[in-house]
Amino acid sequence: MEQKTKLRAEDGKQEYTITRDFDLPVDLLFKAFTESDLLEQWMGTKVLKLESKKHGSYELETKDPQGKVMFRANGTIHELIPDRKIIRTFEMENAPVGVQLEVYEFESVSDGTSKLWMHVIYESVEKRDQVMKFGLVQGINWAHNRLQDVLNNLKK
């Protein structure tokens, strides 16, 4: 079966690209990246600040149920063209992986479908590999946190 999300990360390169086809009109896809309440839902992290405009900045944070900060990240938006393009930096705080440059290109395929092209560039090959390995662990932790939330709610 054709994969909807494709990853290309060659050995020895400090970048990766992800392409994804969506059953969504391009404006809805774009909105999911620029409105904090929507971004929160699909990224599974709190959005403390999101100024969706050129020279704007953003801050993300995830806390565990005890209020301990598990993840913090921030960045600056360098370019934002509605329904077309976002260029931004992303920096995970307290993680030795530096700043990554992210280019998102949005494309309308038909009335109800669209395509996202995501290009992420790191300071070095090592940092890219570290993030990709860490990203996996983080994803699992977040899933566990959500599971824990559900269980806690059931107990109440």
Give the footprint of other proteins on this chain (CB under 8 A).
3-7, 9, 18, 20, 22-24, 28-29, 31-32, 38, 41-44, 116, 129, 132-133, 135-136, 139
Take residue 154 and report the two structure tokens written for it: 């059931």
CB of 49 to other proteins, least distance (A): 20
Least distance from C-beta 112 to other proteins, angstroms? 10
CA separation for the pair 25, 116 (Å, rounded): 11
Q: Is the Cβ of residue 137 or residue 155 nearer to other proteins in the bound state?
A: 137
> What is the enclosing helix (H) or strand (E) of 123?
none
d(CA 146, CA 40): 13
In angstroms, give the least distance from the CB of 138 to other proteins. Answer: 8
